[in-house]
């Protein structure tokens, strides 16, 4: 960096690993931007000659650099045929413009119009569409807000079909889960078949919607509390859509492969819980034997699996007939012995 008045050395900017193709002074601040063969753009302070920012993103040499937006942004053009827009404050690439197929050697601004020229013998004029994009984003947010309000209204009035369709259109998995949970709870309260209701919904979905719902099920199935709803929906889909159609649809076989491991884990957990529930039968039966006979406590209880069935299954497995079980004993001794045998057999049959 040289002084223009006496051509004396002002300072040296160290930082680039390879040659520098271009540099540009900021028209508003005491900084300078440089473009290098090392695929970076650097911003330097003219006072201290220190590097303030480094912009990385080009895949080849950076050939041109320019300031714009009152010195708040940078434009860079590279040998990869790309023109990139950078925000200096955040150090982020805001946009990438792909209009050339070869090196971009020329880059300049004229008002709101950007002109670039490259080795592909093309001159490309770029127009600033920031205001149009912001307007489109604002309109999209307004539409989304309106649809979310409609979704809340449908849920409030229990209009689940309309609410589910809006949740899918907005691509909101959590809202879709909430609606499906409400549908299942409503059917259980009214005594309806939940699976039939889900199958009716599935039959109306196109294949792209089915793929979308299976993606939701894959994510829901990773959590135990949502696994039941996910498995019900998967069962409804498999029950309505032929297996050949599911197997030939792009993405669906992979989704089923991702759902399967968590489903097996949940089924193993349920099997373990079901096996441990037999301990409740044993505990309740043991509590009943401690009470006086006249209380008739046992006849008033609803066991997970009735003790009579357990005893019958044990006798059947051991090959003991009803006559052998009674034996040539007195009525009092037979009753006492049968009660003890039942307790021993129950304790043996209960899984640890």
Contacts of 327 (CB under 8 A, 6+ apart): 334
CA distance 257 to 240: 19
* Closest-CA residue to 171 (of 222, 233, 215, 136): 215
Residue 329's pLDDT is 45
pLDDT tens, residue order, the chain (352 aa): 898 888 899 899 999 999 999 999 998 899 999 999 999 999 999 999 999 999 999 999 999 999 988 889 999 999 999 999 999 999 999 999 998 999 999 999 887 789 999 999 999 999 888 888 889 999 989 998 999 899 889 888 889 989 999 999 999 999 999 999 999 999 999 988 999 999 999 999 999 999 999 999 999 999 999 999 999 999 999 999 999 999 999 999 999 999 999 999 999 998 888 888 888 877 877 776 555 555 555 555 555 555 565 556 566 655 655 444 444 444 444 444 444 444 444 444 444 4
* 3-class DSSP assignment, residue 94: strand
Helical (H) or strand (E) element with 170: helix 160-170
Residue 304's pLDDT is 52
Q: Which residue is listed with tokens 């309505």? A: 240
Residue 193, CA distances (Å) to 75, 165, 186, 197, 232 in order: 62, 21, 10, 7, 12
Residue 57's pLDDT is 92
CA distance 166 to 85: 36
The alpha-carbon radius of gyration of the chain (Å, integer) is: 37
* 3-class DSSP assignment, residue 7: coil
């Amino acid at each position: 960096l040289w002084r223009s008045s006496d051509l004396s050395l002002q300072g040296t900017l160290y930082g680039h690993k390879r040659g520098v193709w271009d540099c540009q002074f900021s028209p508003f601040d005491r900084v300078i931007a440089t473009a290098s063969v090392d695929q970076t753009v650097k911003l330097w302070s003219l006072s201290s000659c220190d590097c303030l920012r480094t912009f990385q993103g080009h895949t080849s040499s950076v050939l041109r650099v320019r300031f714009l937006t009152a010195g708040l942004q940078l434009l860079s053009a590279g040998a990869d045929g790309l023109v990139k827009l950078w925000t200096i404050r955040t150090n982020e690439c805001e946009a990438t413009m792909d209009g050339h197929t070869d090196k971009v050697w020329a880059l300049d601004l004229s008002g709101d119009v950007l002109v670039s020229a490259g080795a592909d013998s093309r001159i490309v004029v770029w127009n600033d569409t920031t205001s149009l994009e912001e307007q489109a984003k604002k309109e999209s947010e307004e539409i989304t807000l309106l649809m979310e309000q409609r979704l809340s209204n449908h849920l409030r009035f229990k209009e689940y079909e309309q609410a589910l369709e809006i949740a899918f259109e907005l691509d909101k998995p959590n809202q879709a889960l909430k609606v499906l949970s409400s549908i299942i709870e409503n059917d259980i309260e009214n005594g309806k078949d939940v699976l039939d209701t889900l199958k009716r919904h599935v039959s109306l979905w196109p294949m792209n919607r089915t793929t979308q719902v299976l993606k939701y099920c894959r994510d829901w199935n990773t959590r135990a509390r949502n696994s039941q709803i996910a498995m019900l929906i998967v069962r409804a889909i498999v029950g309505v859509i032929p297996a050949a159609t599911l197997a030939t649809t792009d993405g669906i076989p992979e989704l089923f492969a991702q759902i399967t491991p968590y489903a097996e884990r949940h089924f193993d957990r349920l099997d373990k819980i079901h096996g441990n529930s037999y301990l409740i039968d044993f505990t309740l039966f043991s509590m009943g034997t401690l009470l006086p006979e006249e209380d008739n406590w046992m006849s008033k209880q609803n066991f997970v699996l009735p003790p009579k069935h357990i005893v019958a299954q044990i006798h059947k497995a051991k090959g003991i007939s009803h006559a052998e079980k009674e034996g040539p004993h007195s009525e009092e001794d037979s009753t006492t012995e049968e009660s003890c045998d039942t307790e021993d057999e129950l304790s043996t049959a209960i899984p640890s």
